[in-house]
Structure 1
């Protein structure tokens, strides 16, 4: 009787699989943030790296090649090589723009712990035309004390004519930095020349970000000359020198869950040495749309898209160069395709990017740029090869564990997801659009430090 009952249950049709929403990885992995504890916090905040990436990546009118390789046998070692070659005929003779020269760089990096990339040692060599340089750098970050110290020393340096530059020891730089989610301050000095290269301080109060940085190349031994440490004229001169070389910035950057709607944005204003005023806005948004792809299975009801929009206006307060304005937008439609465009007072550029997630992965981008002044159109090509490491999804760490380590993630569709696929309602409920687990990654390690 039990056998008959079990056979009857087994003959029932299996339940259909739950509806899912695709969550592709971001095409860019922001590897530049790995070295941020060996750099000024002022230079990496206020949306600066993100704007530089939005306005520049893949839009060049040159031929560029990039290789980023981390051997699977030992993830502590990785190498990055970049090569830029001006396209023949891209710049006509007599053009007001100076023709660029070929250049490249190679970085060999060692990280004791792959889960903590902020402590590292690397060797970097670069060449541009006839000039070349190489330097070694080491950084030690202690997450318990929030302190980081680093040193950078050039080992090879030649001028454009091939002659040796200054001795390597003269270029040694030592830096120290304290960083936390609310405050970051530090300084860099040149011991051989007894100079203060630059100093910075950055603080966060809620969604408000404030910062200042000075780069005075101040002679520290001059403060002790004459009247010693209490020599008031020397200190007054030093303070004035620092003031003339100081930049100030303020930004509004609300954290996810603090009233944002549909994405994350940064609105920033910067005064550069009393001579330049910069206003910028950057918006990143993760949105979901219905799938219109016959190659997807029937249980897929939506896919996440990533949109970036940026604006920057730079005014020369001295009135010598006038104002510069830039607008850029970027759309990643799925895990393989991204398009972006950039327009400024000088010209307009568009680019299309295709990425294959094989092992290793390949990226190919083509760009076209039109110059308003000359009326000429230039074309560029970028090719990149890289191995998988730290693939980023626009999902939380918990959501990543649920779906495993597949290249395209899936999460079970909610009632709102199914409703959206049927043309009814929103894909994400309104009370979840500012949830960090939906819009972005949870910070880990020192990622949330300034």
Structure 2
């Protein structure tokens, strides 16, 4: 009888015991705030990995001896509007230094589509008041946008009166033009771009005329770039991008960016026994800029520079970043609490190679714009809310080898994911 009870008890434990899970933490900042304004910029200035590199090299790297405080809020009653307010300045204020403040009030037509919106920007510096607006129609691929400084302390150039633009975008092509309505004849247009993607190769050109010589035959008005990329734009899928760019026939830029999604074993006494692993996100970027114009070298100006950076998100709460260049090296540590609203505290340390001194910068951010939410994808990649866990049945744990995860994410099926985590496959 005792043996029978033991067998029944063992069978119930085996059947009713929960399956092993792997923690899949949300990314610290996705989608990036800069991506909300991508329709106001030339596609040439956004693709070729430029947006990802901009976030990798700039986010959480505070200016030495300075602080940044940012509040990003979205009201519960009306999710179509949000507000971003920023206060920044020196830690040890001097008479010639000021504490700057600005705020951005935004209205968005579709909660899940950031491409049609209008916002108002107020600041203690120029422009004091600025309005931006964009309308994009995904069905036809056409869009129009405008940036209008309403209040300025000084209006010195034609651009201070506003910029308007038209664009067309599809999955493999993007083209557009920006104009200054009150510009002179030799200042029209402000820029023209054309970007195309065939398979994994992306190529594009951009025309930005100089006022002195705006002829099409002047190579100083043209920039061209080519990139080779693998992977999707979803942060749950690994990707990389390598690009080469010739800027106005005077500067050569080579860059590389890679986003890795890796899984590691975890033995955390604070977690349940069913937790066998955790997903980490590792980003690496490199950028080299060098001059191909002899005039720059003749003026004793540094004709080349480079920077390299890497970031590691260990879990949903901790992010470590570091970057290095010829003049300084910086390391940043960020801690995020996923309350509602969430709070992020960051500290960065910068070492100047000239004098060897280490200076610190601090940042504090409160946010309710982006919420970390995952939904079910498939039986091998099941996201549970709110613990951000999925079943680990599709994972092979072998000693000395990277654990593999087979899912619809790797196959490119994103229908089961929230909209903000899907790649923008309809717009290049």
TM range (shorter): 0.7 to 0.9
Q: Does 1:184 align with 2:167?
A: no
Name the SS of the counterpart of 1:37 in structure 2: helix
SS of residue in 2 equivalent to 1:51 = helix
Shift of 1:346: 0.5
Structure 1 residue 87, shift from structure 2 partner: 2.8
Corresponding residue of 1:210:
203
Flag the 1:387–1:45 CA change in 2: closer, same or farther, 3 A: same
Task: State yes or no: 1:449 paired with 2:427.
Answer: yes
TM-score (norm 2): 0.84
Instruction: Indicate how the Cα distance of structure 1 residues 119 and 397 shifts in structure 2: closer, same or farther if over 3 A, else same.
Output: farther
Give SS of 1:21's match. strand
- Aligned-residue offset at 1:414: 1.4
- Where does residue 48 of structure 2 map in the other structure? 46
Aligned equivalents of 2:315 and 2:79: distance in 1?
27
| Equivalent of residue 281 in structure 1, options 245, 256, 261 | 256
Change (3 A) 1:28 1:444: closer
Cα 1:56–1:74, aligned 2, differ >3 Å: closer, same or farther? same
Residue 53 of structure 1 aligns to a residue whose secondary structure is helix
- Distance in 2, matches of 1:424 and 1:52, equals 34
Alignment of 1:103-122 (within 5 A): 103-122=100-119
Q: Structure 2 CA distance, aligned partners of 1:39 and 1:402? A: 37
Aligned-residue offset at 1:114 = 0.3
Partner of 2:123: 126
How much has 1:403 moved relative to structure 2? 3.0
Q: Is the 8 A contact 2:241 2:258 kept in 1?
A: yes
> Which 5+ residue runs of structure 1 have no aligned equivalent?
1-7, 94-98, 160-164, 220-235
Q: Give 3-state SS (helix, strand or coil) of 1:79's partner.
A: strand
Matched, 1:69 2:73: yes
Q: Residue 139 of structure 1 aligns with which residue? A: 134
Whether contact under 8 Å (2:200, 2:229) holds in the other structure is: yes
Corresponding residue number in structure 2 for 1:409: 388
Q: TM-score, normalised by structure 1?
A: 0.80
- The CA distance in 1 between the partners of 2:12 and 2:272, in whole Å, is 23
Distance 2:37 2:56 in 1: 20
The answer to whether 1:386 aligns with 2:390 is no
User: In the TM superposition, what is the alpha-carbon distance from 1:190 to its structure 2 partner?
Assistant: 1.1
Does residue 1:22 correspond to 2:40, yes or no? no
User: Which structure has the bigger radius of gyration?
Assistant: 1
CA shift for structure 1 position 392 = 6.7
C-alpha change, 1:398 and 1:40, in structure 2 (3 Å) is farther
Q: 1:45 to 1:400 in 2, by over 3 A?
A: farther
Tell me which residue corresponds to 1:162.
none
**Could you tell me how far 1:216 is from its partner in structure 2?**
1.2
8 Å CA contact 2:82, 2:369 repeated in 1: no
Counterpart residue number, 2:191: 198
Matches within 5 A, 1:218-297: 238-241=215-218, 243-256=219-232, 263-297=238-272
3-state secondary structure, aligned to 2:109: coil
Deviation at 1:44, TM superposition (A): 0.8
- The question of whether the paired residues in 1 share the 8 Å contact of 2:284 and 2:309 is answered with yes
SS in 2 for 1:117: strand
Q: Deviations over 1:316-375 (max 9, x none)?
A: 223232211111110000000010111110011111110000011000011110001122
Instruction: Label 1:254 to 1:100 Cα distance change in 2 as closer, same or farther (>3 A).
Output: farther
Structure 2 vs 1, CA of residues 396 and 139 (structure 1 numbering), >3 Å: closer, same or farther?
Answer: farther
Aligned-partner Cα distance in 2 for 1:100–1:270: 37
SS of residue in 1 equivalent to 2:256: strand
CA distance in 2 between counterparts of 1:151 and 1:211 reads 23
Unaligned segments of structure 2, at least 5 residues: 1-7
Q: CA deviation at 1:141?
A: 0.7
Structure-to-structure mapping, 1:86-105, within 5 angstroms: 86-88=90-92, 102-105=99-102
For 1:365 and 1:359, locate their aligned partners in 2 and report how far apart those are by CA, in whole Å. 18
- Residue 427 (structure 1) shift: 2.0
Residue in 2 that maps onto 1:3 = none
More displaced 10-residue stretch of structure 1: 359-368 or 425-434:
425-434
Q: Give 2:37's aligned residue.
A: 35
Q: Is the 8 A contact 1:197 1:217 kept in 2?
A: no
**Within-5 A mapping of 1:130-169:** 131-159=126-154, 165=155
Give 1:305's match in structure 2, choosing from 280, 285, 294: 280
RMSD value, Cα:
3.2
Distance 1:169 1:237, change over 3 A: closer
1:56 aligns with 2:58: yes
Q: Does the C-alpha gap of structure 1 residues 21 and 12 become closer, same or farther in structure 2, counting only changes over 3 Å?
A: closer
